[in-house]
A and B are shown apart, each in its own frame.
Chain A
Amino acid sequence: MDLTELIAVGSAERERQKSVRVHCCTSTGCRAANSQEVLQQLQAGITAKGMGDRVEAVGVGCMGFCGRGPLVQVEPAGILYEEVKPDEAPSIITALEGGKAKALQGDIQHPFFAHQVKIVREYSGKIDPERIEEYIAVGGYQSLHKVLYEMTPAEVVTEITRSGLRGRGGGGYPTGLKWATVAKMPGEQKYVICNGDEGDPGAFMDRSVLESDPHLVLEGMAIAGYAIGANHGFIYVRAEYPLAIQRLQKAIQQAKKYGLLGSQIFDSHFDFKIEIRIGAGAFVCGEETALIASIEGGRGNPRPRPPYPAQSGLWHCPTLINNVETFANIAPIVREGADWYASIGTEKSKGTKIFALTGKIRNNGLIEVPMGISLRQIVEEMGGGVPDGQVKAVQTGGPSGGCIPADLLDTPVDYDSLTALGSMMGSGGMVVMDESTNMVEVAHFYMEFCRGESCGKCIPCRAGTVQLYGLLTKLLHKQATPADLDKLKELCAMVKETSLCGLGMSAPNPVLSTLRYFGEEYEALLPSITDLNGRVGRVPVSQ
């Protein structure tokens, strides 16, 4: 395969595509709402009408508005239909010739769509993820060709560094710096790992990217392999995402068949193969050293760092680990240039970020927004606010993050602002909570999660989370004393400072952030006492 052939595959595909494409989402969310039958009915409708020469119904990836699935979009007109039922599908086809479809029409001018800037999700919901030709038709794998023939590995690293891209898995470590570290390491054998162990409850960005545009991630990994000098990549996906695994397997097979993965990619000297590793339900495996242990076939126990995986990772070889979304940003950066990427976002957080907007909110789904957009714009304008109520808090960063109260919604969304508020960007889960949510219960919920997911290797996390959980339970049962509340704070600090890995270090965050912003809810749970003068009051709490 060379560039001419690649372009020829793309044009042949564009030639094959019909002038009108009716896209139907077949990702997990819409699939659960029966979208496959909708797709069948759309196809049947086209056949019945004899429109097969100019119209085709295509199963595509996620369009983002998961709360209103199944979604159907007619291209190039852009008409969106929401909550389509199978019996309404034929009317969508009939409406192509004029008239109105029976299905509920969505508003694509709504801020939910209008405020989005799509880099990673540009072709998500527009191409069939199970056909590599559709990805090639929109320019896929041209970035890989570009780096192989027009750039040196060092130039690729510089380009990524200049783009200002930071790790999308939550930590926000500069991607270019990580690549440079691995590239500099001596050693013949290096590895690239894609972390698709999206364990944060309430987050499903990586699942959606893998299900909707798997080749984008594979291309990013191959470019990374070239840049750091690795010829072997692993993609670690949670077993809870069967559709993502299935589509990845298919994508890898197809890319190999075209010579875009495997030996001598694009007839160059660069070899790169990618293997899938399936997780087995351990949250801690999202931590990089635990993930490596799991790929090696062992228990997912983390180990102390340094040495960082960049120095000694998989089978003690220098290893580059990035998140799914990080890899998905690579091909667009190579294609459009670092300056273009750096022009989006804020000074220290460049580009876009995908968020999973869920919880008590009108518009549930996935959004890709430029860094620096305010939480208020996301929650109130795009999300449409809380149905019949007020926003009380927004939880970001999952069990490692925190709750941001409603009066701080004007905070811009970037790595540093969220960290300053005691929360974190995390992988991108954003759970909206309304007035009916009890914040101590939320903290209790997360602590139960961390208690269950602690791998048990280090004592602060293993015992600390159990003790914290016990204290929170005691509080909720109104049996706690002010001394317990003090102990809670003390223990939070201890677990945070002394745990081995990110799980333990961040486990107290939900407690600390709710204590910080909703401290009165904790105090209200303390039993009341009758003071010396006979007045009923609350026990004062030391700060």
Chain B
Amino acid sequence: MASIQTEGAKTAKGSDRPNVGGTDRRFKPLDLAMKRQQYRPEALIEVLHKAQESFGYLEEEVLVYIARGLKLPLSRVYGVATFYHLFSLKPSGAHTCVVCLGTACYVKGSNKVAEGLEQELGIKVGETTPDGKISLMAARCVGACGIAPVVVFDGAVAGKQEPENALARIKEWELG
């Protein structure tokens, strides 16, 4: 557990409850979400969403914390967190670039966009650049098929993407 060096882990050192003393503010939205759901076990997915929003990803400490809060075995929490694609157990980069590989985007050449980005960044889809700056991901479909091919840059949908303009966007991030 201690091997995960994040703020949450650091504040929690020496204790099996990461938020003892309530020093890490990122636990606050999580506590609030669990309280609002009255610590019902069926609220697990909502709580995981909140946790990921607050922490950026689901580190082991957080999963343990949620398991205790909702009175669920850790295996169950881990099982759910790993089942759904949107939950990530690894930290993601400062920026995220999601290439849609749905059918409409695929037919219009989104795989070329993805390949172009892979080459530029030197990583594969699903990975983060070694400097932790950019995560490249793929989506099954973001439902913006009318403007295919689509790339989502930090949550903002951009339509009609070619490898060139997607690369230009990434370069802005790399400089910034």
Contact = CB atoms under 8 A, between A and B. Distances in A.
Interface stretch (A124-132, A225-233, A289-297): A289-297
B91 interface: no
Nearest to A298: B80
Interface in B55-114: 76, 79-80, 83-87, 101-108
A260 B141 CA distance: 34
Given A32-B147, A295-B42, A300 B84 contact: yes
A395 B102 CA distance: 13
Interface in A436-475: 437, 445-446, 449, 453, 455
Interface stretch (A276-284, A478-486, A529-537): A276-284
Interface string B107-139: 110000000000000000000000000000001
A147 interface: no
Interface stretch (B1-9, B17-25, B44-52, B166-174): B44-52
Contacts of B150: 32
A67 B41 contact: no
A358 interface: yes
B107 A433 contact: yes
A238 B84 CA distance: 11
B108 A360 contact: yes
A390 to B, nearest CB: 15
A242 B139 CA distance: 14
Interface in A197-252: 198-204, 207, 238-242
A378 to B, nearest CB: 15
B32 interface: no
B29 interface: no
B48 A280 contact: yes
A359 B142 CA distance: 15
A395 B141 CA distance: 16
A69 interface: yes
Contact of A278 (B45, B106, B145): B45
Contact of B145 (A281, A282, A364, A449): A364
A66 interface: yes
B42 A429 contact: no
B86 A280 contact: yes
B146 A358 contact: yes
Given A201-B102, A299-B80, A364-B148, A239 B49 contact: yes
A356 interface: yes
Nearest 3 A/B pairs, CB to CB: A66-B146, A201-B102, A280-B84
Interface of A: 28-29, 31-33, 65-67, 69, 198-204, 207, 238-242, 277-283, 294-300, 356, 358-360, 364-366, 395, 398, 429, 431-433, 437, 445-446, 449, 453, 455
21 contacts: A28-B143, A29-B147, A69-B147, A199-B140, A201-B101, A203-B145, A204-B145, A207-B143, A238-B143, A281-B87, A296-B42, A297-B42, A297-B44, A359-B108, A364-B146, A365-B146, A398-B103, A431-B103, A433-B107, A437-B107, A455-B83
Given A32-B156, A240-B143, 7 more contacts: A29-B144, A280-B45, A297-B45, A299-B80, A360-B108, A364-B145, A364-B147
